[in-house]
Amino acid sequence: MSLADVAGAGRLPDLTGLLDTCQVGGFRADFVSWGFYTKPAWRNYWHRHSFHEVCLAYTGAGRFSVGGEHHDVGTGEVFLARPGDVHEIESSREDPLGIAFWGFTLRGGREAPGPDERGWWSGLTDPAGPVVSRRTGSLAEVVTALAGYADPVRSGYDAGLAGLGAALVVDTARAFANEDDLQVEPPPRDRPSQVVVAAMRRHLADNLCRPVRVRDVAATVHLSERHAERLFREQTGASLMATLRRMRLELAAALLLDTGPTVTEVARACGYPDVRAFSTAFRRLHGHSPLEHRARSGTLHL
């Protein structure tokens, strides 16, 4: 569904009472208005607000006036009236302007940036900033998704709306921020090989009670068996199967502290259908039998 479809259905005002506030980047955003202006041609006369009013044009053309400036606006543009800005919008008669609009206040919390810091929020807080932008990002998609959460209302709507509301505020501010204010140092990320090895370890941990072969682990990360084994050994210093055995026996040591399950049941829970093979492997790693481990509450190795 497009933004024009949402406008035609008149669904955006349904957010009133559903999305009243959200937290974003240390700020609190309180939403005060939602709606559309559609055909026929229209005009909202000079006025001002105590909040940020944002208009996203999805069809047609018109003029946005703020202070002594006049801006021609049309499809694919977003325009902003900051708190206290005296402004008006006039639709073209020949090509009526269709807009989605939303209004919100932005209040700083304990984690809000200091006055000398700059970031995505500068597009809202700088009174000398631009008021018309074509950098709409994903605004149309976010507004459409918000309307979808409002009709019908289903379980989890509050969490979904809060996340989308935060995205709406960020994308709105980004549209009007100076490009330099949007530059940040990217967070450190794991190298691709570390990510792949982490996925293989996760597969091992999730399947300790099941038969596992190298081919199974390699398939989860879309590598050949040889490549997966080599990469895993380079990163961990151990083979996949040796790591699997250690993980199984470490799990067994923890399970044996519960006196409920038998040694046979613990063995099966750790991927050992043969209790003798389990006991041999357990003694080789831990230095004592499973029964001795349970009798001493796991303290023999100390």
Q: CA 131, 143, 19: angle at the middle one, nearest 5?
A: 100
Characterise 105 by phi-psi region: left (phi > 0), alpha (psi -120 to 50), beta (else). Answer: beta
DSSP structural state of residue 151: S
Ranges assigned E (strand) in 20-77:
21-24, 27-37, 43-47, 52-59, 61-66, 69-74
CB 221 within 8 A of CB 196: yes
pLDDT digits (tens, 9 = 90+) for 135-184: 999 999 999 999 888 888 889 999 999 999 999 999 999 999 998 888 88
What six digits make up the tokens of 33? Answer: 């208005």
| Chain CA centroid to CA 81, Å | 28
In whole angstroms, what is the distance from residue 207 CA to residue 24 CA?
38
What six digits make up the tokens of 266? Answer: 């613990």
CA neighbours within 13 Å on the CB side: how many for 104? Answer: 28
In whole angstroms, what is the distance from residue 116 CA to residue 3 CA?
37
Q: What share of the chain is helix, strand, coil (3-state, %, to 5)?
A: 40, 20, 40
Give the model's pLDDT for residue 117: 61
- Type and span of the H or E element at 103: strand 98-108
Give the model's pLDDT for residue 25: 84
Characterise 263 by phi-psi region: left (phi > 0), alpha (psi -120 to 50), beta (else). Answer: alpha
Q: Which amino acid is at 62?
A: G
Give the model's pLDDT for residue 1: 58
Longest dimension (CA), the chain: 89
CB 129 within 8 A of CB 176: yes
Q: Pairing between strand 43-47 and 87-91?
A: antiparallel
Beta bridge partners of 34: 102
Positions of the chain with pLDDT under 70: 1-3, 5-11, 109-117, 298-302
The torsion of the CA quartet 217, 270, 285, 241, rounded to 10 degrees, works out to -10
